[in-house]
């Protein structure tokens, strides 16, 4: 038998083997080993940017066709173009823009998914978390830890009210991956108020913590990190020339009780890029979602240029290089699954020379 024929027969025998094994739900590792264990991350989702001016008209129309009460959460999901049908912005995270109109209530519920709200536009709305309300201002970073009761409302302030929009970030795909999701609805639309507004921040938000009755739980006891404070911190460091060539001035939000991430599955940061900043490229294994608070600039993601303006959202995939440029002073909020990657020894990052 010549060699070619032998090879031909061997391939046919393999195909027959694959075919015959199928019914037993067996498949050959050697045909897929290289994709199962790639040399470096090969994310199946893409870099993308949602311009707020493109999204807002649709969100406004959503406000005309469905109430917050009927929708439960009136949210437009920012779905990664590479993950159609998955309601995911990265493999592990979900993001959406939520609208609440004056007078509306998004009813109380709780779930094992952890959530953050990053306020994008408008004043006069509150979120209540486990019996404590907090009024939300643009740029505030708000937590809804896993299994905490939460409802949102927009009563306005001082007799005036306006639509309020925020970016929701949740670990929905992570919880789906683990099939560990539970949820339940509250008995009433708004949960009863158990503590006065500002209690959590007074108790935990000033580098101090109560001596007795310490908060227990996997998430930060602070559930509103106000923009005013984050912005001021960044501005002071900028004036002191603490500018990193890759990141500008970048701070991470911490759980004050342990210095770790605010929630077990989601980490978040705020950074300032001074006008004219041209950052060097860096990459990391935590696919990251950015929300632009102030300023215009460009995110160069894997060589593709995405121009950004205030209130835009963009996503940087795992291991894609990111270089940030600012035309004017820019402030960016970001969140990712970094605490999960750190916990399982999977966080890698690289700061490249150019």
Residue 66: phi and psi, rounded to 5, are -150, 140
String of b and e for 44-60 (b: at least 16 CB within 10 Å)? Answer: ebebbbbbbeebbeebe
Shorter beta-carbon distance to ligand GTQ: residue 100 or 234? 100
Toward ligand GTQ, which CB reaches closer, 143 or 270?
143
Q: How far is the CB of 167 from ligand GTQ (least distance, A)?
A: 9
CB of 284 to ligand GTQ, least distance (A): 25
The residues facing 169 across adjacent strands are 95, 116
> Least distance to ligand GTQ from the beta carbon of 116, Å?
10
Q: Which residue, 92 or 285, has its beta carbon nearer to ligand GTQ? A: 92
Q: Of all residues in this chain, which one has the CB nearest to ligand GTQ in the complex?
A: 168
Residues near ligand GTQ (CB under 6 A): 73, 75, 96, 98, 111, 115, 150, 168, 170
Q: Which is nearer to ligand GTQ, 9 or 184 (CB)?
A: 184
Question: At a CB cut-off of 8 Å and minimum separation 6, what does 342 contact?
Answer: none
Q: At 83, list the tokens.
A: 């993950």
Nearest distance in Å: CB 36, ligand GTQ = 32
Residue 258: strand, helix, or coil: coil
CB nearer to ligand GTQ: give 98 or 288: 98
Q: Are 171 and 337 in contact (CB under 8 A)?
A: yes
Sheet of 322-326: strands edge to edge?
A: 304-308, 297-301, 322-326, 282-284, 349-351
Measured from the CB atom, is 96 or 145 closer to ligand GTQ? Answer: 96
- Name residues whose C-beta falls within 8 Å of residue 75's C-beta, 6 or more positions apart in sequence: 96, 97, 98, 99, 168
| Residue 160 beta carbon to ligand GTQ: minimum distance, rounded to whole angstroms | 24
Q: How far is the CB of 115 from ligand GTQ (least distance, A)?
A: 6
Query: Which sign does the torsion angle of CA 125, 130, 132, 136 carry?
Result: negative
């Amino acid at each position: 038998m010549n060699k070619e024929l032998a090879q031909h027969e061997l391939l046919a025998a393999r195909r027959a083997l694959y075919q015959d094994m199928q019914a037993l739900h067996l498949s050959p590792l050697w045909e897929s080993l290289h994709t199962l264990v790639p040399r470096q991350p090969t994310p199946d989702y893409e870099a993308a940017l949602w311009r707020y001016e493109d999204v807002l008209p649709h969100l406004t129309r959503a406000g005309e066709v469905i109430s917050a009460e009927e929708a439960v959460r009136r949210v437009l999901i920012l779905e990664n173009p590479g993950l159609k049908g998955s309601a995911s912005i990265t493999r592990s995270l979900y993001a959406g823009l939520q609208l609440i109109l004056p007078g509306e209530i998004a009813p109380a519920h709780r779930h094992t998914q952890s959530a953050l709200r990053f306020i994008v536009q408008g004043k006069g709305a509150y979120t209540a978390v486990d019996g404590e309300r907090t009024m939300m201002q643009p740029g505030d970073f708000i937590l809804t830890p896993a299994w905490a009761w939460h409802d949102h409302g927009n009563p306005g302030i001082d007799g005036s009210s306006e639509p309020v929009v925020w970016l929701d970030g949740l670990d929905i795909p992570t919880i789906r991956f683990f099939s560990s999701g539970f949820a339940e609805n509250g008995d009433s639309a708004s949960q009863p108020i158990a503590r006065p507004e500002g209690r959590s921040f007074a108790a935990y938000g000033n580098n101090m913590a109560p001596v007795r009755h310490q908060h227990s739980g996997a998430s930060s006891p602070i559930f509103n990190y106000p923009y005013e404070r984050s912005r001021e911190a960044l501005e002071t460091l900028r004036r002191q020339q603490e500018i990193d060539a890759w990141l500008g001035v970048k701070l991470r939000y911490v759980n004050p009780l342990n210095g770790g991430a605010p929630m077990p599955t989601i980490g978040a940061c705020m950074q300032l890029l001074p006008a004219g900043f041209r950052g060097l490229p860096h990459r990391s294994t935590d696919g990251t979602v950015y929300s632009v608070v102030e300023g215009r600039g460009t995110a160069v993601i894997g060589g593709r240029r995405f121009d950004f303006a205030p209130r835009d959202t963009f996503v940087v995939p795992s291991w894609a290089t990111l270089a940030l440029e600012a035309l004017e002073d820019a402030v960016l909020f970001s969140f990712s699954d970094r605490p999960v990657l750190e916990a399982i020894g999977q966080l890698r990052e690289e700061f490249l020379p150019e």
